[in-house]
A and B are shown apart, each in its own frame.
Chain A
Amino acid sequence: MKVTVDEEKCCGAGQCVLIAPEVFDQRDEDGIVVLLDAEPPADRHPAVQESADVCPAAAIRLSTRG
Protein backbone atom coordinates (compact mmCIF):
# COMPACT_ATOMS: atom_id res chain seq x y z
CA MET A 1 0.00 0.00 0.00
CA LYS A 2 1.25 3.45 -0.96
CA VAL A 3 -0.19 6.47 0.84
CA THR A 4 -0.26 10.00 -0.55
CA VAL A 5 -1.78 13.09 1.04
CA ASP A 6 -3.01 16.31 -0.55
CA GLU A 7 -1.95 19.22 1.65
CA GLU A 8 -4.04 21.65 -0.41
CA LYS A 9 -7.26 19.72 0.17
CA CYS A 10 -6.49 18.85 3.81
CA CYS A 11 -8.76 20.71 6.26
CA GLY A 12 -6.72 19.76 9.34
CA ALA A 13 -9.53 17.79 10.97
CA GLY A 14 -7.04 15.40 12.59
CA GLN A 15 -9.20 12.29 12.16
CA CYS A 16 -6.29 10.40 10.58
CA VAL A 17 -4.01 11.32 13.50
CA LEU A 18 -6.51 9.83 15.92
CA ILE A 19 -7.02 6.65 13.89
CA ALA A 20 -3.47 5.95 12.63
CA PRO A 21 -0.97 8.01 14.67
CA GLU A 22 1.99 5.95 13.39
CA VAL A 23 1.21 7.01 9.82
CA PHE A 24 -0.22 10.53 10.09
CA ASP A 25 0.65 13.62 12.11
CA GLN A 26 -0.26 17.32 11.95
CA ARG A 27 1.83 20.46 11.51
CA ASP A 28 1.78 22.48 14.71
CA GLU A 29 1.29 25.80 12.94
CA ASP A 30 -1.90 25.00 11.02
CA GLY A 31 -2.92 21.38 11.65
CA ILE A 32 -2.27 20.29 8.06
CA VAL A 33 -1.45 16.60 7.62
CA VAL A 34 2.12 15.30 7.81
CA LEU A 35 2.69 11.87 6.30
CA LEU A 36 5.02 9.86 8.57
CA ASP A 37 5.01 6.59 6.67
CA ALA A 38 4.16 6.48 2.96
CA GLU A 39 4.43 2.67 2.83
CA PRO A 40 3.04 1.42 6.13
CA PRO A 41 3.32 -2.29 7.12
CA ALA A 42 0.36 -4.59 6.49
CA ASP A 43 -0.90 -4.57 10.08
CA ARG A 44 -1.58 -0.84 9.77
CA HIS A 45 -3.49 -1.05 6.49
CA PRO A 46 -6.96 -1.31 8.08
CA ALA A 47 -6.38 1.86 10.13
CA VAL A 48 -4.97 3.70 7.11
CA GLN A 49 -7.95 2.61 4.99
CA GLU A 50 -10.28 3.85 7.72
CA SER A 51 -8.45 7.17 7.87
CA ALA A 52 -8.91 7.63 4.12
CA ASP A 53 -12.62 6.73 4.36
CA VAL A 54 -13.34 9.06 7.27
CA CYS A 55 -11.24 12.02 6.04
CA PRO A 56 -13.79 14.83 5.64
CA ALA A 57 -11.74 16.48 2.90
CA ALA A 58 -10.96 13.28 0.96
CA ALA A 59 -7.30 14.30 1.16
CA ILE A 60 -5.80 10.80 1.62
CA ARG A 61 -5.19 8.61 -1.44
CA LEU A 62 -4.23 4.95 -1.29
CA SER A 63 -2.81 2.84 -4.07
CA THR A 64 -1.58 -0.71 -4.22
CA ARG A 65 1.89 -1.21 -5.56
CA GLY A 66 2.49 -3.69 -8.28
Chain B
Amino acid sequence: MTTAPVRDSDPAEVPRFPDPRSAVCPFDPSPALRDLTRLGPVSRVRSWGESTPWVVTRHAEQKALLSDPRLSARFTHPNYPSPVDPRHAGGVRPDMSFVAMDDPDHARLRRMVSGVFTVRRIEAMRPVVQRIVDDFLDRMLAGPRPADLVTSFALPIPSLVISELLGVPYDDHEFFQVNSKTIVSTVATAEQRGQAHGRLSEYLDDLVGRKTAEPGDDLLSQLAARVTTDELTRSQAAAMGVLLLLGGHETTANMITLGTLLLLEHPEQLAAVRDSDDPAVVAGAVEELLRYLSIVHLGRRRTALEDIEIAGRTIRAGDGVILLGELANRDPDVFTSPDTFDITRDARHHQAFGAGTHHCVGQPLARMELQVVYPTLFRRIPTLRAATGTEKIPFKYDAVIYGVHELPVTW
Protein backbone atom coordinates (compact mmCIF):
# COMPACT_ATOMS: atom_id res chain seq x y z
CA MET B 1 0.00 0.00 0.00
CA THR B 2 1.36 3.38 -0.98
CA THR B 3 2.08 6.02 1.63
CA ALA B 4 2.23 8.81 -0.93
CA PRO B 5 -0.65 11.26 -1.04
CA VAL B 6 -3.39 10.16 -3.40
CA ARG B 7 -4.30 12.53 -6.20
CA ASP B 8 -7.97 12.82 -6.98
CA SER B 9 -7.20 12.36 -10.66
CA ASP B 10 -5.39 9.06 -10.32
CA PRO B 11 -7.93 6.32 -9.61
CA ALA B 12 -5.38 3.52 -10.06
CA GLU B 13 -3.66 4.72 -6.89
CA VAL B 14 -6.87 4.78 -4.88
CA PRO B 15 -7.34 1.80 -2.54
CA ARG B 16 -10.51 -0.24 -2.78
CA PHE B 17 -13.01 -0.01 0.08
CA PRO B 18 -14.43 -1.95 1.74
CA ASP B 19 -11.74 -4.59 1.69
CA PRO B 20 -12.63 -8.13 2.67
CA ARG B 21 -12.39 -8.48 6.44
CA SER B 22 -9.36 -10.08 7.94
CA ALA B 23 -9.38 -12.51 10.84
CA VAL B 24 -5.82 -11.62 11.86
CA CYS B 25 -6.97 -10.23 15.19
CA PRO B 26 -10.70 -10.31 15.85
CA PHE B 27 -10.62 -7.34 18.26
CA ASP B 28 -8.69 -4.92 16.02
CA PRO B 29 -9.44 -2.99 12.83
CA SER B 30 -8.24 -5.02 9.84
CA PRO B 31 -4.74 -4.32 8.45
CA ALA B 32 -6.32 -2.99 5.22
CA LEU B 33 -8.37 -0.52 7.23
CA ARG B 34 -5.33 0.59 9.20
CA ASP B 35 -3.45 1.16 5.94
CA LEU B 36 -6.00 3.86 5.14
CA THR B 37 -4.75 5.93 8.10
CA ARG B 38 -1.35 6.16 6.37
CA LEU B 39 -2.97 8.02 3.47
CA GLY B 40 -3.83 10.86 5.83
CA PRO B 41 -6.87 12.00 7.77
CA VAL B 42 -9.05 12.51 4.67
CA SER B 43 -8.46 10.55 1.45
CA ARG B 44 -10.19 9.03 -1.55
CA VAL B 45 -11.06 5.33 -1.84
CA ARG B 46 -12.63 3.38 -4.67
CA SER B 47 -15.94 1.88 -3.67
CA TRP B 48 -18.71 0.30 -5.72
CA GLY B 49 -18.17 0.64 -9.48
CA GLU B 50 -16.34 3.85 -10.31
CA SER B 51 -17.39 5.77 -7.19
CA THR B 52 -14.58 7.34 -5.16
CA PRO B 53 -15.93 8.57 -1.83
CA TRP B 54 -13.72 10.11 0.86
CA VAL B 55 -12.75 8.17 3.96
CA VAL B 56 -12.03 10.02 7.18
CA THR B 57 -9.73 8.15 9.52
CA ARG B 58 -8.84 10.46 12.41
CA HIS B 59 -10.77 11.39 15.54
CA ALA B 60 -10.63 15.20 15.21
CA GLU B 61 -11.80 15.36 11.59
CA GLN B 62 -14.56 12.82 12.23
CA LYS B 63 -15.90 14.76 15.19
CA ALA B 64 -15.78 18.02 13.21
CA LEU B 65 -17.51 16.52 10.17
CA LEU B 66 -20.18 14.63 12.12
CA SER B 67 -21.08 17.95 13.78
CA ASP B 68 -21.10 19.80 10.44
CA PRO B 69 -24.55 20.58 8.97
CA ARG B 70 -22.97 20.73 5.48
CA LEU B 71 -22.90 16.91 5.55
CA SER B 72 -26.22 15.20 4.90
CA ALA B 73 -27.28 11.83 6.32
CA ARG B 74 -29.99 11.26 3.69
CA PHE B 75 -29.67 8.08 1.62
CA THR B 76 -31.19 9.67 -1.48
CA HIS B 77 -28.24 11.70 -2.79
CA PRO B 78 -26.88 10.36 -6.10
CA ASN B 79 -23.38 9.83 -4.65
CA TYR B 80 -24.47 8.60 -1.23
CA PRO B 81 -21.73 6.10 -0.34
CA SER B 82 -23.88 3.05 0.28
CA PRO B 83 -22.46 0.34 2.58
CA VAL B 84 -23.88 -2.28 0.21
CA ASP B 85 -23.48 -2.32 -3.56
CA PRO B 86 -26.26 -0.02 -4.83
CA ARG B 87 -26.25 -1.83 -8.20
CA HIS B 88 -27.65 -4.87 -6.37
CA ALA B 89 -29.82 -2.97 -3.89
CA GLY B 90 -32.93 -2.87 -6.08
CA GLY B 91 -36.42 -2.04 -4.92
CA VAL B 92 -37.44 0.60 -2.45
CA ARG B 93 -35.01 1.70 0.24
CA PRO B 94 -36.37 0.97 3.72
CA ASP B 95 -37.52 3.96 5.76
CA MET B 96 -34.80 4.42 8.38
CA SER B 97 -36.66 7.32 9.96
CA PHE B 98 -34.56 10.14 11.47
CA VAL B 99 -31.28 8.25 11.00
CA ALA B 100 -31.56 9.16 7.32
CA MET B 101 -32.80 12.75 7.77
CA ASP B 102 -31.16 16.11 8.31
CA ASP B 103 -32.07 18.82 10.78
CA PRO B 104 -34.58 20.31 11.37
CA ASP B 105 -36.69 17.26 10.28
CA HIS B 106 -34.30 14.91 12.06
CA ALA B 107 -34.41 16.85 15.34
CA ARG B 108 -38.20 17.13 15.28
CA LEU B 109 -38.66 13.35 15.10
CA ARG B 110 -35.70 12.43 17.28
CA ARG B 111 -36.92 14.68 20.09
CA MET B 112 -40.19 12.74 20.17
CA VAL B 113 -38.28 9.73 21.52
CA SER B 114 -35.20 11.20 23.22
CA GLY B 115 -37.10 12.00 26.42
CA VAL B 116 -37.15 8.34 27.45
CA PHE B 117 -33.34 8.24 27.41
CA THR B 118 -32.57 11.03 29.91
CA VAL B 119 -30.11 10.30 32.69
CA ARG B 120 -32.97 10.32 35.24
CA ARG B 121 -35.22 7.92 33.32
CA ILE B 122 -32.38 5.50 32.59
CA GLU B 123 -31.24 5.48 36.22
CA ALA B 124 -34.81 4.66 37.23
CA MET B 125 -34.67 1.63 34.89
CA ARG B 126 -31.47 0.25 36.42
CA PRO B 127 -33.20 -2.02 39.01
CA VAL B 128 -35.48 -3.37 36.27
CA VAL B 129 -32.47 -4.21 34.09
CA GLN B 130 -30.71 -5.79 37.09
CA ARG B 131 -33.72 -8.04 37.65
CA ILE B 132 -33.85 -9.02 33.96
CA VAL B 133 -30.12 -9.84 33.95
CA ASP B 134 -30.47 -11.95 37.10
CA ASP B 135 -33.48 -13.80 35.66
CA PHE B 136 -31.66 -14.79 32.47
CA LEU B 137 -28.62 -15.86 34.52
CA ASP B 138 -30.85 -18.02 36.75
CA ARG B 139 -32.19 -19.71 33.64
CA MET B 140 -28.77 -20.17 32.06
CA LEU B 141 -27.33 -21.60 35.29
CA ALA B 142 -30.23 -24.07 35.53
CA GLY B 143 -29.71 -25.19 31.93
CA PRO B 144 -27.18 -27.42 30.18
CA ARG B 145 -23.47 -26.72 29.80
CA PRO B 146 -22.00 -25.48 27.57
CA ALA B 147 -24.53 -22.74 26.90
CA ASP B 148 -24.54 -20.28 24.01
CA LEU B 149 -23.97 -16.88 25.61
CA VAL B 150 -25.58 -15.12 22.61
CA THR B 151 -28.97 -16.84 22.66
CA SER B 152 -29.24 -17.44 26.41
CA PHE B 153 -27.95 -14.10 27.68
CA ALA B 154 -26.53 -11.42 25.37
CA LEU B 155 -29.44 -11.16 22.93
CA PRO B 156 -32.49 -11.68 25.17
CA ILE B 157 -31.47 -9.01 27.70
CA PRO B 158 -31.41 -5.95 25.41
CA SER B 159 -34.28 -7.48 23.46
CA LEU B 160 -36.52 -7.65 26.52
CA VAL B 161 -35.44 -4.21 27.75
CA ILE B 162 -36.19 -2.42 24.46
CA SER B 163 -39.45 -4.38 24.08
CA GLU B 164 -40.64 -3.19 27.49
CA LEU B 165 -39.58 0.38 26.78
CA LEU B 166 -41.36 0.41 23.41
CA GLY B 167 -44.33 -1.65 24.52
CA VAL B 168 -43.68 -4.51 22.08
CA PRO B 169 -44.93 -7.91 23.35
CA TYR B 170 -41.82 -9.94 24.19
CA ASP B 171 -43.68 -13.12 23.22
CA ASP B 172 -42.91 -12.11 19.64
CA HIS B 173 -39.17 -11.95 20.34
CA GLU B 174 -38.16 -14.72 17.94
CA PHE B 175 -39.85 -12.86 15.10
CA PHE B 176 -38.09 -9.54 15.72
CA GLN B 177 -34.73 -11.05 16.68
CA VAL B 178 -34.52 -13.07 13.46
CA ASN B 179 -35.56 -10.13 11.28
CA SER B 180 -33.19 -7.71 13.06
CA LYS B 181 -30.30 -10.05 12.38
CA THR B 182 -31.13 -10.29 8.67
CA ILE B 183 -31.31 -6.49 8.29
CA VAL B 184 -27.75 -5.91 9.54
CA SER B 185 -26.28 -8.89 7.70
CA THR B 186 -24.12 -8.15 4.67
CA VAL B 187 -24.39 -11.73 3.37
CA ALA B 188 -28.18 -11.58 3.18
CA THR B 189 -29.34 -10.44 -0.26
CA ALA B 190 -30.86 -6.99 -0.70
CA GLU B 191 -34.16 -8.74 -1.28
CA GLN B 192 -33.89 -10.66 2.01
CA ARG B 193 -32.97 -7.52 3.91
CA GLY B 194 -35.83 -5.63 2.31
CA GLN B 195 -38.30 -8.38 3.16
CA ALA B 196 -37.12 -8.55 6.77
CA HIS B 197 -37.49 -4.78 7.06
CA GLY B 198 -40.93 -5.00 5.47
CA ARG B 199 -42.08 -7.64 7.96
CA LEU B 200 -40.89 -5.55 10.93
CA SER B 201 -42.52 -2.40 9.50
CA GLU B 202 -45.83 -4.17 9.00
CA TYR B 203 -45.68 -5.57 12.54
CA LEU B 204 -44.92 -2.16 14.09
CA ASP B 205 -47.55 -0.46 11.95
CA ASP B 206 -50.14 -2.88 13.26
CA LEU B 207 -48.92 -2.35 16.83
CA VAL B 208 -49.14 1.46 16.51
CA GLY B 209 -52.76 0.94 15.46
CA ARG B 210 -53.45 -1.17 18.53
CA LYS B 211 -51.74 1.37 20.83
CA THR B 212 -53.97 4.09 19.41
CA ALA B 213 -57.01 2.11 20.51
CA GLU B 214 -55.56 0.86 23.79
CA PRO B 215 -52.62 3.01 24.93
CA GLY B 216 -50.20 1.69 27.53
CA ASP B 217 -47.39 3.25 29.55
CA ASP B 218 -44.80 2.89 26.78
CA LEU B 219 -43.06 4.76 23.98
CA LEU B 220 -45.11 3.34 21.12
CA SER B 221 -48.27 4.60 22.83
CA GLN B 222 -46.69 8.07 23.03
CA LEU B 223 -45.94 7.91 19.30
CA ALA B 224 -49.46 6.60 18.59
CA ALA B 225 -50.84 9.65 20.43
CA ARG B 226 -48.82 11.90 18.09
CA VAL B 227 -50.38 10.10 15.13
CA THR B 228 -53.81 10.98 16.52
CA THR B 229 -52.80 14.65 16.81
CA ASP B 230 -51.32 14.61 13.26
CA GLU B 231 -47.76 15.32 14.41
CA LEU B 232 -46.74 12.01 12.80
CA THR B 233 -48.12 9.72 10.15
CA ARG B 234 -48.71 6.15 11.22
CA SER B 235 -45.93 4.90 8.93
CA GLN B 236 -43.52 7.48 10.42
CA ALA B 237 -44.36 6.20 13.90
CA ALA B 238 -43.88 2.60 12.75
CA ALA B 239 -40.51 3.46 11.16
CA MET B 240 -39.34 5.02 14.42
CA GLY B 241 -40.44 1.88 16.24
CA VAL B 242 -38.49 -0.32 13.81
CA LEU B 243 -35.43 1.89 14.21
CA LEU B 244 -35.46 1.68 18.03
CA LEU B 245 -36.20 -2.04 18.03
CA LEU B 246 -33.30 -2.65 15.62
CA GLY B 247 -30.97 -0.30 17.48
CA GLY B 248 -31.77 -2.00 20.76
CA HIS B 249 -30.90 -5.48 19.52
CA GLU B 250 -27.74 -6.22 17.59
CA THR B 251 -25.66 -3.42 19.08
CA THR B 252 -25.93 -4.06 22.82
CA ALA B 253 -26.08 -7.84 22.31
CA ASN B 254 -22.81 -7.84 20.39
CA MET B 255 -21.15 -5.58 22.96
CA ILE B 256 -22.16 -8.02 25.71
CA THR B 257 -20.66 -11.05 23.95
CA LEU B 258 -17.52 -9.41 22.57
CA GLY B 259 -16.88 -7.59 25.86
CA THR B 260 -17.23 -10.83 27.82
CA LEU B 261 -14.78 -12.53 25.49
CA LEU B 262 -12.29 -9.65 25.72
CA LEU B 263 -12.50 -9.53 29.54
CA LEU B 264 -11.96 -13.31 29.70
CA GLU B 265 -8.69 -12.73 27.83
CA HIS B 266 -7.67 -10.11 30.44
CA PRO B 267 -8.29 -11.87 33.78
CA GLU B 268 -6.82 -9.14 36.00
CA GLN B 269 -9.03 -6.47 34.41
CA LEU B 270 -11.99 -8.85 34.59
CA ALA B 271 -11.33 -9.22 38.34
CA ALA B 272 -11.33 -5.43 38.74
CA VAL B 273 -14.72 -5.15 37.02
CA ARG B 274 -16.13 -8.07 39.04
CA ASP B 275 -14.83 -7.03 42.46
CA SER B 276 -15.07 -3.24 42.45
CA ASP B 277 -17.65 -1.55 44.67
CA ASP B 278 -17.07 1.71 42.83
CA PRO B 279 -19.60 2.38 40.03
CA ALA B 280 -17.02 4.72 38.44
CA VAL B 281 -14.62 1.79 37.91
CA VAL B 282 -17.30 -0.21 36.12
CA ALA B 283 -18.46 2.81 34.11
CA GLY B 284 -14.86 3.49 33.06
CA ALA B 285 -14.43 -0.14 32.01
CA VAL B 286 -17.59 0.06 29.87
CA GLU B 287 -16.26 3.19 28.12
CA GLU B 288 -12.99 1.42 27.35
CA LEU B 289 -14.83 -1.67 26.06
CA LEU B 290 -16.93 0.59 23.80
CA ARG B 291 -13.81 2.35 22.51
CA TYR B 292 -11.67 -0.73 22.03
CA LEU B 293 -14.32 -2.93 20.43
CA SER B 294 -16.01 -0.23 18.27
CA ILE B 295 -18.63 -2.61 16.93
CA VAL B 296 -20.22 -0.30 14.33
CA HIS B 297 -18.31 -1.25 11.19
CA LEU B 298 -18.20 -0.09 7.58
CA GLY B 299 -18.38 3.54 8.58
CA ARG B 300 -20.89 6.32 9.13
CA ARG B 301 -21.93 7.58 5.70
CA ARG B 302 -22.72 11.09 4.55
CA THR B 303 -22.93 13.27 1.44
CA ALA B 304 -21.50 16.81 1.25
CA LEU B 305 -24.09 19.50 0.53
CA GLU B 306 -21.43 22.20 0.01
CA ASP B 307 -17.67 22.29 -0.57
CA ILE B 308 -15.85 21.58 2.70
CA GLU B 309 -12.19 22.35 3.32
CA ILE B 310 -10.70 19.93 5.82
CA ALA B 311 -7.19 18.66 6.57
CA GLY B 312 -5.84 20.29 3.40
CA ARG B 313 -8.41 18.60 1.14
CA THR B 314 -11.55 19.90 -0.50
CA ILE B 315 -14.58 17.66 -0.22
CA ARG B 316 -16.80 18.85 -3.09
CA ALA B 317 -20.55 19.34 -2.87
CA GLY B 318 -22.13 16.00 -3.82
CA ASP B 319 -19.14 13.85 -2.75
CA GLY B 320 -19.71 10.82 -0.55
CA VAL B 321 -17.94 10.73 2.83
CA ILE B 322 -17.30 7.64 4.99
CA LEU B 323 -16.27 8.19 8.62
CA LEU B 324 -14.58 5.21 10.23
CA GLY B 325 -15.32 5.25 13.95
CA GLU B 326 -13.23 2.15 14.64
CA LEU B 327 -10.17 4.09 13.44
CA ALA B 328 -11.10 7.29 15.36
CA ASN B 329 -11.20 5.15 18.48
CA ARG B 330 -7.61 3.98 17.86
CA ASP B 331 -6.28 7.46 17.10
CA PRO B 332 -2.95 7.90 18.94
CA ASP B 333 -3.46 11.68 19.09
CA VAL B 334 -6.43 11.12 21.41
CA PHE B 335 -5.70 7.81 23.12
CA THR B 336 -2.22 6.93 24.44
CA SER B 337 -1.19 3.44 23.28
CA PRO B 338 -4.55 3.09 21.54
CA ASP B 339 -4.16 -0.64 20.83
CA THR B 340 -3.78 -1.45 24.52
CA PHE B 341 -6.98 -2.46 26.28
CA ASP B 342 -6.89 -0.63 29.60
CA ILE B 343 -10.04 -0.15 31.67
CA THR B 344 -8.34 2.49 33.83
CA ARG B 345 -7.84 4.97 30.97
CA ASP B 346 -10.24 7.85 30.36
CA ALA B 347 -11.93 6.60 27.20
CA ARG B 348 -14.98 8.86 27.26
CA HIS B 349 -13.94 10.73 24.11
CA HIS B 350 -14.56 7.62 22.02
CA GLN B 351 -16.91 7.75 19.04
CA ALA B 352 -18.49 4.33 19.50
CA PHE B 353 -21.86 6.12 19.46
CA GLY B 354 -20.85 8.58 16.76
CA ALA B 355 -20.85 12.34 17.29
CA GLY B 356 -22.87 15.40 16.40
CA THR B 357 -26.58 15.59 15.86
CA HIS B 358 -26.93 11.87 14.99
CA HIS B 359 -25.09 10.67 18.14
CA CYS B 360 -26.83 7.43 19.19
CA VAL B 361 -30.10 8.34 20.88
CA GLY B 362 -30.20 5.08 22.86
CA GLN B 363 -26.65 5.27 24.24
CA PRO B 364 -27.60 6.10 27.87
CA LEU B 365 -29.62 2.87 27.94
CA ALA B 366 -26.84 0.85 26.29
CA ARG B 367 -24.26 2.19 28.74
CA MET B 368 -26.44 1.39 31.75
CA GLU B 369 -27.24 -2.12 30.49
CA LEU B 370 -23.53 -2.86 30.00
CA GLN B 371 -22.70 -1.44 33.46
CA VAL B 372 -25.16 -3.94 34.96
CA VAL B 373 -24.32 -6.88 32.72
CA TYR B 374 -20.55 -7.35 33.04
CA PRO B 375 -20.13 -7.25 36.84
CA THR B 376 -23.29 -9.30 37.40
CA LEU B 377 -22.23 -11.97 34.91
CA PHE B 378 -18.78 -12.44 36.46
CA ARG B 379 -20.04 -12.21 40.07
CA ARG B 380 -22.75 -14.78 39.53
CA ILE B 381 -20.51 -17.12 37.48
CA PRO B 382 -16.92 -16.56 38.69
CA THR B 383 -15.68 -19.63 36.79
CA LEU B 384 -17.21 -18.58 33.45
CA ARG B 385 -15.01 -19.46 30.47
CA ALA B 386 -15.29 -19.93 26.71
CA ALA B 387 -15.96 -23.57 25.88
CA THR B 388 -13.97 -23.31 22.66
CA GLY B 389 -10.73 -21.70 21.47
CA THR B 390 -10.88 -18.14 20.11
CA GLU B 391 -9.83 -19.49 16.68
CA LYS B 392 -13.04 -21.56 16.53
CA ILE B 393 -15.42 -18.74 17.48
CA PRO B 394 -17.46 -17.54 14.48
CA PHE B 395 -16.90 -13.77 14.33
CA LYS B 396 -19.32 -11.63 12.32
CA TYR B 397 -17.06 -10.56 9.50
CA ASP B 398 -20.28 -10.32 7.47
CA ALA B 399 -22.27 -7.74 9.45
CA VAL B 400 -22.33 -3.96 9.77
CA ILE B 401 -22.62 -4.49 13.51
CA TYR B 402 -19.62 -6.58 14.51
CA GLY B 403 -19.80 -9.39 17.03
CA VAL B 404 -19.92 -13.17 17.20
CA HIS B 405 -22.61 -15.50 15.86
CA GLU B 406 -22.39 -17.75 18.90
CA LEU B 407 -20.18 -18.10 21.96
CA PRO B 408 -20.28 -21.44 23.76
CA VAL B 409 -19.46 -20.88 27.44
CA THR B 410 -19.18 -23.17 30.40
CA TRP B 411 -18.46 -22.80 34.12
Binding site for B on A (CB under 8 A): 8-9, 11-15, 17-18, 26-32, 53-54, 56-58
Are the CB atoms of B359 and A11 closer together than 8 Å? yes
Are the CB atoms of A12 and B355 closer together than 8 Å? no
Whether B185 is near chain A, meaning CB under 8 Å from some CB there, is no
Are the CB atoms of A12 and B117 closer together than 8 Å? yes
B285: shortest Cβ distance to chain A, in Å? 16
Residues of chain A within 8 A of B112, CB atoms compared: 30
A33: shortest Cβ distance to chain B, in Å? 11
Residues of chain A within 8 A of B122, CB atoms compared: 14
A9 to B117, CA, bound (A): 17
Residues of chain B within 8 A of A54, CB atoms compared: 348-349
Q: A30-B114, A30-B115 are in contact. List 19 more A-B contacts (CB 8 A).
A: A8-B107, A11-B356, A11-B359, A12-B111, A12-B117, A12-B118, A12-B361, A14-B119, A17-B118, A17-B119, A27-B115, A28-B115, A28-B118, A29-B115, A54-B348, A57-B67, A57-B356, A57-B359, A58-B356
Are the CB atoms of A57 and B355 closer together than 8 Å? yes
Instruction: From the candidates B63, B114, B348, name the one contacting A12 in the complex (CB within 8 A).
Output: B114
Residues of chain B within 8 A of A26, CB atoms compared: 118-120
B400: shortest Cβ distance to chain A, in Å? 21
Residues of chain A within 8 A of B111, CB atoms compared: 12, 29-32
Residues of chain B within 8 A of A11, CB atoms compared: 114, 356-359, 361
| 10 tightest Cβ-Cβ pairs between the two chains A and B | A30-B111, A14-B119, A56-B359, A11-B359, A31-B114, A31-B118, A12-B114, A17-B119, A26-B118, A56-B355
B405: shortest Cβ distance to chain A, in Å? 30
A27: shortest Cβ distance to chain B, in Å? 8
Nearest chain A residue, comparing its CB with the CB of B113: A30
Given contacts A11-B357, A12-B361, contact A58 B349 (CB under 8 A): no
A29 to B114, CA, bound (A): 8
Instruction: From the candidates A27, A30, A56, A58, name the one contacting B354 in the complex (CB within 8 A).
Output: A56
The count of residues in chain B whose C-beta lies closer than 8 Å to any C-beta of chain A is: 26
A29 to B116, CA, bound (A): 8
Interface residues of B in 209-233 (CB under 8 A from A): none
Residues of chain B within 8 A of A30, CB atoms compared: 111-112, 114-115
Instruction: From the candidates A13, A28, A29, name the one contacting B363 in the complex (CB within 8 A).
Output: A13
Whether B341 is near chain A, meaning CB under 8 Å from some CB there, is no
Whether B17 is near chain A, meaning CB under 8 Å from some CB there, is no
Binding site for A on B (CB under 8 A): 63, 67, 103, 107, 111-112, 114-115, 117-120, 122, 348-349, 351, 353-359, 361, 363-364
A23 to B137, CA, bound (A): 39
Residues of chain A within 8 A of B349, CB atoms compared: 53-54
Instruction: From the candidates A31, A32, A56, name the one contacting B356 in the complex (CB within 8 A).
Output: A56
Residues of chain B within 8 A of A57, CB atoms compared: 67, 355-357, 359
Instruction: From the candidates B67, B103, B107, B117, name the one contacting A58 in the complex (CB within 8 A).
Output: B67
Residues of chain B within 8 A of A15, CB atoms compared: 348
A26 to B361, CA, bound (A): 14
Are the CB atoms of A13 and B118 closer together than 8 Å? no
A52 to B107, CA, bound (A): 21
Nearest chain A residue, comparing its CB with the CB of B122: A14
Given contacts A13-B363, A15-B348, contact A31 B117 (CB under 8 A): yes
Residues of chain A within 8 A of B118, CB atoms compared: 12, 14, 17, 26-28, 31
Given contacts A12-B117, A30-B115, contact A58 B361 (CB under 8 A): no
Given contacts A31-B114, A31-B117, contact A13 B357 (CB under 8 A): no
B71: shortest Cβ distance to chain A, in Å? 14
Most chain B Cβ neighbours within 10 Å, of A11, A32, A53: A11
A15: shortest Cβ distance to chain B, in Å? 7
Residues of chain A within 8 A of B119, CB atoms compared: 14, 17-18, 26
Residues of chain B within 8 A of A58, CB atoms compared: 63, 67, 356
B70: shortest Cβ distance to chain A, in Å? 14
Nearest chain B residue, comparing its CB with the CB of A18: B119
A18 to B355, CA, bound (A): 18
Nearest chain B residue, comparing its CB with the CB of A16: B119
Residues of chain B within 8 A of A9, CB atoms compared: 67, 357
A45 to B294, CA, bound (A): 31
